[in-house]
Amino acid sequence: ANGYFYSRWAKCIHSSRDFSDMVFIDNYIFNKDVYIQFNSTVGEYVGYTELGVHNAELWNKDPNQLQQERAEVERYCKHNAELYQSAIADKS
């Protein structure tokens, strides 16, 4: 494959059953390197390359975008974790 590779990879991490330590991480990847990341613990975007730093500065100035990413812990992570946990508990 000659060309460029772009992907976005989001994940939720937790270790307690009540999901109180749930963390949402949203990675933006270009050619297999993370160039910008949102981490719900940090609460804003962090850039890891020149382009990532530039985009992080722009995106962090947009309160709507930050609010939407911060809400993903509840909307995406906790919602799905509760579904998975109940599906597993129903099987035992």
The domain segmentation of the chain, as residue ranges, is 6-89
Cα–Cα distance for residue pair 24/82, rounded to 1 Å: 15
Cα–Cα distance for residue pair 33/39, rounded to 1 Å: 16
Residue 88 has a pLDDT of: 76
Residue 83 has a pLDDT of: 84
Q: Read off the pLDDT of each residue in 35-51 and give the average, rounded to a whole number.
A: 96
Q: Name which CATH class applies to 6-89.
A: alpha beta
Q: Bridge-partner residues for 7, per DSSP?
A: 29
Residue 10 has a pLDDT of: 95
- pTM assigned to the model: 0.83
Residue 43 has a pLDDT of: 96
